[in-house]
Structure 1
């Protein structure tokens, strides 16, 4: 059940990122729902960054929780 929930949590930002990439691609071909091309590209870029950023943050949090990422040596908290 936990794996299914994790899949659903990652599916929605993946779809958002994919739609952002589609908007940016459509800007170059001159098609799309928004008449102002630079605004369509900007919205697509923001959606892509938000979607990919959420997925990357989720994976980073999961790996830190499981101990797969070692702590940095220059971190003052790791010296304790």
Structure 2
């Protein structure tokens, strides 16, 4: 049940981001064709909606990978950075 709720939430956010891109696409064309200010405002709101949905999905994936230990710290030119270990005290 828990996984189902997570999938539904992710699907809803994905659809919201897609609708934001669709709003942006449609209203930019209308704004260029007719020059109404309302179309410009709605296109900006659609772009913000798409950005927020995409940021949420990216944050979800990042948090999940961090929780599972799949992230690796990278150094210069993508090389893995080894952790410096402190000497053991006996």
Question: What value does the CA root-mean-square deviation take over the aligned residues?
Answer: 2.4
Q: Name which of 21, 27, 43 aligns with 2:45.
A: 43
Equivalents in 2 of 1:35, 1:23: separation in Å? 15
| Greater relative contact order, per chain length (Cα 8 Å cut-off, separation 6+) | 1
Q: Aligned runs of 1:51-62 on 2, under 5 Å? A: 51-62=53-64
Match status 1:28 vs 2:25: no
**Which 4+ runs in 1 deviate beyond 6 A?**
none
Equivalents in 2 of 1:48, 1:79: separation in Å? 41
Mark the runs of 5 or more structure 2 residues left unpaired by the alignment: 76-82, 86-90
Equivalents in 2 of 1:58, 1:51: separation in Å? 11
Match status 1:5 vs 2:1: no
Report the equivalent of 2:72: 70
Mark the runs of 5 or more structure 1 residues left unpaired by the alignment: none
Structure whose alpha-carbon radius of gyration is higher:
2
